[in-house]
């Protein structure tokens, strides 16, 4: 799976009073995609929600006494947009847009026709393909992705030796830290130093390495927890050992330490490792075909909208930025907000529903909860808990709850999660563009005060409207800031130097 990379590490508790929709598995949530990421009124108590989320260990078999007796991280279920569980309260946030949808369609149709009349047809699918075929014998990004296997194998070998006692826990921790740090530093160094790699290739490669980092972090944690269980079981009295010794699932530690198990996890659409994932009984060919067709169609649609609508708008925004014409800058920002938000919504469906369900179907992966009804969000925190579930589960399981167990306050733990998320957002943008402006980092950290403001002053439908407004306006601001800085750095600076 990939990091949306929106990524990326979000967690924040819900607010008091939110009713739970039928069929929702709150024990495994807190992701918005994490997403902060239900239903249209009220909020769950924050502390209760965090405490009911999935087991940080998530070893479904119980051959040893469990020091953290909580449910697994992967419930067996379908995607929200498929109506799994018969939920009938999924749509208030989307349906709230319907009263004005006709006006929106007519207004946007006028803008689209204006664009066609002014620029003609700019859509060129061959142009995108040519970017990858420009130099068919030099694909540095693909080479980077292939090299990522080295780090996965290194983590596996460390775990094998820890399982048999050939390494001490301290030595194993040191090796894992070095391996994980190299996973982040190595591709960044290549992207910054190698001139032949393109920004698009850099983004894709860095996303793969970021996902690998999160997966191997989880892989190391879960195996450590299983070793702790094994040690406690050996030290327990014989009677207690017998009571907890019956395995309920086919795989138990250390039998999970195989390349087959490792690579299944690396390709599975999840960031949280388990010894026994929920599995679907068969591959549904019709379902898989629909998802593949959606992927092909929506990819072309996104590329076409970017070429036809966004690129001309961004190009025409450079002069107002250069002249600091604020009225024109605001006009360009509002004009860019429409196609940007439409493309973002299409991307969400393409990635979280089409792509991840296709991968899950191929791998017979049972947990299809990749997102929740973030469109009903009445607070920024609820959005970040529900739009990116894989990232949210990882943050909760491997970051937020471990910080609480080490004595950190909930506020410090939440701030730490947002800080980590901000780092990865900036990492995935600044390194490929070869410039460090911290716009993405600032935007993510700004979610903390924004969440307080929205929850304090906006409730119900007003809160939902505030969340949608931040999504529609906030992203174009970041896009324009990065494009402007990239344009100045790569086009105006060389001309001035000449």
With 80 as the cut, is the pLDDT of residue 61 above it? no
The pLDDT score that the predictor gives to residue 12 is 37
Average pLDDT over residues 332-349: 89
Handedness of CA 35, 36, 41, 42 (dihedral sign): positive
Residues that are catalytic:
425
Is residue 474 domain-resident?
no
User: Which pLDDT does position 1 carry in this prediction?
Assistant: 44
Domain for residue 261, yes or no? yes
Q: Looking at the 3D structure of the chain, how many domains does it have?
A: 1
Tokens standing for residue 382: 């609820």
Mean pLDDT of 57-63: 41
The reply to whether 470 falls in a domain is no
- Segment among 18-27, 97-106, 157-166, 201-210 with least mean pLDDT: 18-27
**Cis before 337? omega within 30:** no
Q: Which of 231-240, 263-272, 415-424 has the lowest mean pLDDT?
A: 231-240
Is residue 213 in some structural domain? yes
**Least confident stretch, 128-137, 178-187, 341-350, 370-379:** 128-137
Side-chain-facing half-sphere of 47: CA atoms under 13 Å: 4
Burial class (CB in 10 A: 0-12, 13-18, 19+), 315: exposed
Q: Collect all residues with Cβ–Cβ distance below 8 Å to 191 and sequence separation of at least 6.
A: 197, 202, 205, 206, 431, 432
Domain annotation covers residue 160? yes
Percent of the chain scoring above 70 in pLDDT: 72
141 is in which domain, residue-wise?
136-232+252-277
Residue 316 lies in a domain: no
- Which pLDDT does position 131 carry in this prediction? 67
Cα separation, 347 vs 380, whole angstroms? 20
In a domain, 141, yes or no: yes
Name the range with the highest mean pLDDT among 97-106, 461-470, 481-490: 461-470
Kindly report the average pLDDT of the chain as a whole number. 79
How many alpha carbons lie under 13 Å from residue 5 in its C-beta half-sphere?
A: 22
- Predicted pLDDT of residue 378: 92
pLDDT for res 334: 85
How many residues are present in the chain?
A: 498
pLDDT of residue 63: 39
Please tell me which residue, 477 or 350, carries the higher pLDDT value: 350
Q: Tell me the pLDDT tens digit for each residue of 79-135.
A: 666 654 444 455 555 555 555 566 667 766 777 787 778 777 777 777 777 766 666
pLDDT reading at 344 higher than 70:
yes
- Of the pLDDT bands very low, low, confident and very high (cuts 50, 70, 90), residue 314 is confident
* Greater pLDDT, 48 or 472: 472
Count Cα atoms within 13 angstroms, Cβ side, for 23.
18
Mean local confidence (pLDDT), 224-249: 69
3-state SS track over the chain: CCCCCCCCCCCCCCCCCCCCCCCCCCCCCCCCCCCECCCCCCCCCHHHHHHCCCCCCCCCCCCCCCCCCCCCCCCCECCHHHCHHHCCCCCHHHHCCHHHHHHHHHHHHHHHHHHHHHHCCCCCHHHHHHHHHCCCCCCHHHHHHHHHHHHHHHHHHHHHHHHCCCCCHHHHHHHHHHHHHHHHHHHHHHHHHCCCCCHHHHHHHHHHHHHHHHHHHHHHHHHHHHHHHHHHHHHCCHHHHHHCCCCCCCCCCCCCCCHHHHHHHHHCCCCCCCCCCCECCCCCHHHHHHHHHHHHHHHHHHHHHHHHHHHHHHHCCHHHHHHCCHHHHHHHHHHHHHHHHHHHHHHHHHHHHHHHHHHHHHCCECECCCCCCHHHCCCHHHHHCCCCHHHHHHHHHHHHHHHHHCCCCHHHHHHHHHHHHHHHHHHHHHHHHCCCCCHHHHHHHCHHHHHHHHHHHCCHHHHHHHHHHHHHHHHHHHHHHHHHHHHHHHHHHHHHHC
pLDDT beyond 60 at 13: no
291-311 pLDDT tens trace:
999 999 999 999 988 988 888
Residue 176 domain-assigned?
yes
What's the pLDDT tens digit per position in 388-408? 999 999 999 999 999 999 999
């Amino acid at each position: 799976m990939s990091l949306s990379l929106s990524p990326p590490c979000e967690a924040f508790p819900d607010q008091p009073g939110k009713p739970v929709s039928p069929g929702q598995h709150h024990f495994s949530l807190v992701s918005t995609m994490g997403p902060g990421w239900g239903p249209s009124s009220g909020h769950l108590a924050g502390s209760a929600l965090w405490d009911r989320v999935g087991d940080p260990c998530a070893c479904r078999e119980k051959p040893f006494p469990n020091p953290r007796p909580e449910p697994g991280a992967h419930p067996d279920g379908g995607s929200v947009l498929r109506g799994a569980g018969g939920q009938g309260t999924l749509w208030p946030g989307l349906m709230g847009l319907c009263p004005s949808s006709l006006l929106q369609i007519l207004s946007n149709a006028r803008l689209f026709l204006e664009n066609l009349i002014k620029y003609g047809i700019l859509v060129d699918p061959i142009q995108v393909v040519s970017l990858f075929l420009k130099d068919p014998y030099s694909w540095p990004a693909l080479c980077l992705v292939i090299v990522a296997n080295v780090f996965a194998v290194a983590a596996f070998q460390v775990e094998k030796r820890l399982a048999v006692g050939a390494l001490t826990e301290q030595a194993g921790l040191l090796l894992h830290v070095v391996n994980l740090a190299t996973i982040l530093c190595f591709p960044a160094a290549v992207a910054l130093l190698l001139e032949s790699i393109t920004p698009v290739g850099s983004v894709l490669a860095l996303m793969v390495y970021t996902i690998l980092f999160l997966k191997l972090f989880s892989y190391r944690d879960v195996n450590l927890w299983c070793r702790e269980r094994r040690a406690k079981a050996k030290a327990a009295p014989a009677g207690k050992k017998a009571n907890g010794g019956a395995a309920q699932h086919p795989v138990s530690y250390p039998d999970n330490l195989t390349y087959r198990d490792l690579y299944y996890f690396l390709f599975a659409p999840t960031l949280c490792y388990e010894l026994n994932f929920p599995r679907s009984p068969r591959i549904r060919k019709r379902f898989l075909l629909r998802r593949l067709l959606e992927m092909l169609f929506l990819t072309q649609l996104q590329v076409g909208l970017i070429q036809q609508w966004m690129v001309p708008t961004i190009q025409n925004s450079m002069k107002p930025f250069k002249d600091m014409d604020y009225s024109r800058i605001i006009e360009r920002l509002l004009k860019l907000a429409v196609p940007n938000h439409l493309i973002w919504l299409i991307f969400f469906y393409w990635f979280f529903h089409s792509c991840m369900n296709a991968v899950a179907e191929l791998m017979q992966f049972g947990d299809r909860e990749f997102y929740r009804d973030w469109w009903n969000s009445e607070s920024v925190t609820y959005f970040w808990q529900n739009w990116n579930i894989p990232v949210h589960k990882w943050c909760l399981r491997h970051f937020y709850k471990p910080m609480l167990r080490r004595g950190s306050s909930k506020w410090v733990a939440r701030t730490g999660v947002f800080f980590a998320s901000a780092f990865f957002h900036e990492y995935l943008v600044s390194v490929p563009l070869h410039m460090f402006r911290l716009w993405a980092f600032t935007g993510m950290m700004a979610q903390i005060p924004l969440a307080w403001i929205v929850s304090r002053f906006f409730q119900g439908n007003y809160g939902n409207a505030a969340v949608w407004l931040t999504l529609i306006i906030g992203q174009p601001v970041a896009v324009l800031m990065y494009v402007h800085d990239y344009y100045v750095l790569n086009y105006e600076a060389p001309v001035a130097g000449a």
